[in-house]
Amino acid sequence: MDEITFINKIDKFNKLIDDYGLKATSISLFYAILYLIKIQGKKDKYYIRNSELEIYSGMGSISLSTNRDLLKQYEIIDYKSNGHGSAPEYIILI
């Protein structure tokens, strides 16, 4: 992800925080996903293990799942499970 795209995604997300009344946990998760995608570089697909997201977002597995579903519901992100033990694929939709 290039720098301009990265900044545009941050700007779009910041505008949605108030619109959706997002809590700190959802905000933290979004920024963790965005950061981990950015450090992977330009790719067609981005895979992030739940354990990485737990570390970077500061939340446990239940909170991670709840907030990930919320971000997906608001069409901010999409993710696809790749089966037990494999890292899910993430896409930033905004």
Quick: pLDDT tens for 28-76: 999 999 999 988 887 778 999 999 999 999 999 999 999 999 999 999 9
pTM: 0.89
Domain with 21 in it? 3-92
Alpha-carbon distance of 69 to 88, in angstroms, equals 13
Q: How many domains does the chain have?
A: 1
Q: What pLDDT does residue 84 have? A: 77
Q: Which CATH number fits the domain that encloses residue 60? A: 1.10.10.10
